[in-house]
Structure 1
Amino acid sequence: MIELRRIGPDEFVEVLDTVLTIYMAAMRPPPDQLSGRLGIMRNHATYPDFICVLAENPEIIGFAYGFHGMAGQWWHDIVARSLADQSGGAATEEWFGDALEIAEIHVLPGHQGKGVGRRLIHTICEGRPERTAVLSTHDAPTVARRLYRNIGFVDLMTEFAFPGSRESYAIAGTRLPLPPRGRA
């Protein structure tokens, strides 16, 4: 049976090697990006109201983490500025003025498709004080993108490219609290 467990920044840093291994298995990034990803994840643990949820069976098989987004954070600034350029300040304030920014959600490939990702998202959003939750995902018809839509996330921007990246992303958001664990 898969159990979910909330942890804070200190324990997250303690399990960072395991988390990075899950990230690598799920995303298969180029090896030269791993040291940078490790630094980014460690830095994220210092952000306000950081929360991580681990999926364990009994070893860690998945994780999701996020934090309160705010000006001065790289992802927040890049995405909020682009949304303001595209849709105006009111839309940016609506979605990013009080948002849980979900930075990572990953499940080991052998455990995908069994509801673990859905449970991680619901658990990380549960009880959060923010008005919205936002995230980025590959702008393609992936299983993850379908899951986010099914939960209630809507596209805020598509065909989005982060500086230095050639990949296309969708920026998505949903209002909190999430609807019950059925279909949105």
Structure 2
Amino acid sequence: MPSIPGSSPRTPDVQVGPLDLAARVDDALAVQALAFGLSEEEVGVRRHIVLRHNLQRGCRALGATTADGRLVGFVYGLPNDRVHWWSTVVEPYLRVTGDDGWLDDSFVITELHVHPAFQARGIGRALITTLTDGAGQPRSILSAIDTESPARRMYRSLGYADLARQVHFPSAPTPYAVMGAPLPLRRPGTAGSGAGGI
């Protein structure tokens, strides 16, 4: 994969590249479980969801791996479709703010997680910028827990802005924010970029 300015991790022994999500779904979910605090039951549910997403047209995944092949981070996403479950949940919230047009012609970041021991090294930034650089859409959307966190600061530094807050997903105990950004995402040194991130 070619080097992209501003999208390489600050850890030289970690490489970002294509990920066979179906083959490494258990490795990816092990990272997500640690990063996100998932129970075994939640991991089982998400496994089916990830595998279903992986079959969607345009789904793309990247992994961050160490020299010995250990997966320490991953991201995947796909072109958004209003009939997808996620869109049907967030659409009423975006309609209230007048931002439901973001659901069209957008690349949605479905999951982005980095192993806690490898966070704050630019891996999350490298994963999301590299993935969205290959998107055919002019903008990107995602949802993140609606609290101040390193992840939310990183998203803002990349150009994502809040489109709707206090979004409630069924069975999720905490509210989320929906964020959107024009593509390509901002790089370090461009207007409005800042520090932070996963």
TM-score w.r.t. length of structure 1:
0.91
Work out which of the residue numbers 65, 75, 78 in structure 2 matches 1:64. 75
Residue equivalent to 2:3? none
8 Å Cα contact 2:61-2:74 kept in structure 1: yes
Residue equivalent to 1:24? 33
Question: 2: CA distance between counterparts of 1:38 and 1:45?
Answer: 11
Question: 1: CA distance between counterparts of 2:136 and 2:34?
Answer: 32
Question: 1: CA distance between counterparts of 2:36 and 2:172?
Answer: 15
Work out which of the residue numbers 113, 116, 125 in structure 2 matches 1:106. 113
Question: What per-residue deviation string (whole Å, max 9, x for no partner) do you get for residues 92-121 of structure 1?
Answer: 12x111011101101111100011011111
What is the identity, as a one-letter code, of the residue corresponding to 1:149?
R
Question: Following TM superposition, by how much is the alpha carbon of 1:169 offset from its aligned partner in structure 2, in angstroms?
Answer: 0.6
Residue equivalent to 2:90? 79
Question: 1: CA distance between counterparts of 2:163 and 2:97?
Answer: 9
Higher helix share: 1
Whether 1:2 and 2:2 are equivalent positions in the alignment is no
5+ residue gaps in structure 1? none
Question: 1: CA distance between counterparts of 2:150 and 2:185?
Answer: 19
Question: Following TM superposition, by how much is the alpha carbon of 1:163 offset from its aligned partner in structure 2, in angstroms?
Answer: 2.2
What is the identity, as a one-letter code, of the residue corresponding to 1:120?
L
Residue equivalent to 1:174? 181
Question: Following TM superposition, by how much is the alpha carbon of 1:60 offset from its aligned partner in structure 2, in angstroms?
Answer: 1.1
What is the identity, as a one-letter code, of the residue corresponding to 1:64?
V
8 Å Cα contact 1:96-1:132 kept in structure 2: no
What is the identity, as a one-letter code, of the residue corresponding to 2:85?
W
Question: 2: CA distance between counterparts of 1:97 and 1:167?
Answer: 26
Number of paired residues?
177
What is the identity, as a one-letter code, of the residue corresponding to 1:35?
G
- RMSD of equivalent CA atoms: 1.4
Question: 2: CA distance between counterparts of 1:2 and 1:181?
Answer: 20
TM-score w.r.t. length of structure 2:
0.85
Question: 1: CA distance between counterparts of 2:73 and 2:134?
Answer: 20
Residue equivalent to 2:5? none
Whether 1:138 and 2:148 are equivalent positions in the alignment is no
Question: Following TM superposition, by how much is the alpha carbon of 1:127 offset from its aligned partner in structure 2, in angstroms?
Answer: 2.8
Question: 1: CA distance between counterparts of 2:49 and 2:64?
Answer: 21
5+ residue gaps in structure 2? 1-12
